[in-house]
Homo-oligomer: A and B are copies of this chain.
């Protein structure tokens, strides 16, 4: 991965999920979590996610809002051969560039399809906004693309993941965010919240979250600490463990 310049702020990113199937409840989106985890490991800060329908105006507005604000925008969905796949045209519109059949994309499709199979619907998958770079897709050949700071990927998780593997090494990597998860067990959040806040305030550069999990066996809480600074993280984690030990002893 590209090395960050020393002291450079981490790159920021947004995910834009394009798909009626998510908004209707038909499909559980799992791409966001995959990309989120990938970016955390790469040291890129995911700051926002949006889900919009398969509607050109909505896609254009979201792409333009997000690309102005973040270093990278990762879109998923809408680049297949059917009439509901309108992402390429929407991205072209967002960038104000024409969208035409790309000879490089066409030759990728020819790795999979015979001339007879390469009907107009499948050829739509070779429609790419002018100036975009292609992202190879080892699984089904139809490429994603990268234009400006927008990275356009498939919605099918296996294909999206293969595209992320192509794209990932070229992102501006930063120090990865280190994570420490501490089990608070059945100690209730309300029992440690005040002292946890004091720890959070005393450890700048460490983000501390508390996450209850209501199980059949009652509530189990986790405290999650996140930081790019290993030393600061260790100190904060030590303070949280001491707090929990103290509270457990008092139970």
Question: Which A residues lie at the B interface, using CB under 8 A?
Answer: 17, 20-30, 32-40, 46-54, 58, 80-84, 113, 117, 119-122, 124-125, 139-140, 156, 158-159, 177, 179, 189-190, 193-194, 196-197, 200-201, 207-214, 219, 224, 226
Contact = CB atoms under 8 A, between A and B. Distances in A.
B193 A81 contact: yes
Contacts of A84: 200, 208-210
B22 A32 contact: yes
> Of residues A26, A47, A177, which shows the largest number of chain B Cβ atoms within 10 Å of its Cβ?
A26
B40 A33 contact: no
Contacts of A125: 190
B121 A190 contact: yes
Given A54-B209, A158-B214, A207-B20, A193 B83 contact: yes
Contact of A226 (B24, B207, B211, B226): B24
